[in-house]
Amino acid sequence: MEKFRQFVAFLLAALLMGILSVATVLIWVLNWRGGLAWDAGLLEFNWHPVLSTTGFIVLNGFALIIYRLPWTWNLSKPLMKNIHAFLNITTFTLMVISLVAVFDFHNSKKIPNMYSLHSWIGLAAIIMYTLQIVLGLCIFLLPFTPMYIKTFYMSIHVFAGLFIFGMGIIAAEMGITEKLIFTLRSGSNVTLSYSQSPPEAILVNALGIFILVFGGYIFWIATQPEWKRPLEQVTDNTNTEEGSTLNKTDTSAEISMDCALEITPRLRQINLDDVDQRATF
């Protein structure tokens, strides 16, 4: 019960930081940057921070921990895989729109593309995220994919998801700082410079803090072994010796997938009577 309370506390804290991040970026672009539009101008560019924060940071973060929500443990693994895939595809769609917005703005204003470290890391994260989705769909959702491939790729899939999420946070932090430096220039007649800490700068700096803390909560939730989804119970539907052998093989492979970070030869010899035990790592 104590571990459950801790999980709920971290989850609520992550939810709060996510809401604050989305709300703050909306306040920023609506109150200080003129709003949103699709006009190949600055208002179109504003979609970039809004969709990047909403999609690649917040939605992607919750997609990473969707399996660890206790309220979803009574749902079947195939259903959870589809939900996980839906969240990631939605994130990908939002990121494509955000990239179109920024490239469209740059091209219309004759601004060079892909010259900053923010753009390098950001685009690399999107490319890796695209590859992550394609491989995830092909390996984990296609029914004819061999189990040994799923088992082998699981640990790579988990690590890559966290790594790409971290890249997104880094890119976001650099991007909002870059935007403030460009827009709050010294000597401007419109606003105070960034170094003079006008209200806009303070708000956007707070956005950066919200994003960073949100990422920290997500990383913590996603890496705590005691909050991992329990193993699903597998029942033996046949009394024949051959059927029993097949069920044991499938059971061992499924458990190996769920425990991919600690695969050992012992898992391939697990008994059916132990399947209903919860993972302890």
- With vertex at residue 229, the alpha carbon angle to CA 226 and CA 235, rounded to the nearest 5 degrees, is 125
Tokens of 179: 């935007």
| Residue entry with tokens 């939002």 | 94
pLDDT in tens, the chain (281 residues): 788 999 999 999 999 999 999 999 999 999 999 999 999 999 999 999 999 999 999 999 999 999 999 999 999 999 999 999 999 999 999 999 999 999 999 999 999 999 999 999 999 999 999 999 999 999 999 989 999 999 999 999 999 999 999 999 999 999 999 999 999 987 665 778 999 999 999 999 999 999 999 999 999 999 999 999 987 644 333 343 334 333 444 444 444 444 444 434 343 343 433 433 333 32
- 39-42's contacts with Cβ under 8 Å and 24+ in sequence apart are 40/104, 40/105, 40/107, 40/108, 41/105, 41/108, 41/109, 42/105
- 260-268's contacts with Cβ under 8 Å and 24+ in sequence apart are 260/151, 260/154, 260/155, 260/158, 261/155, 261/158, 263/151, 263/155
Please give the Cα distance from 27 to 67 (Å, whole number): 32
Cβ-contact 75, 35 below 8 angstroms? no
DSSP code at position 275: T
Q: What's the one-letter identity of residue 119?
A: S
Q: What's the one-letter identity of residue 239?
A: N
Overall pTM surpassing 0.85 (yes/no):
no
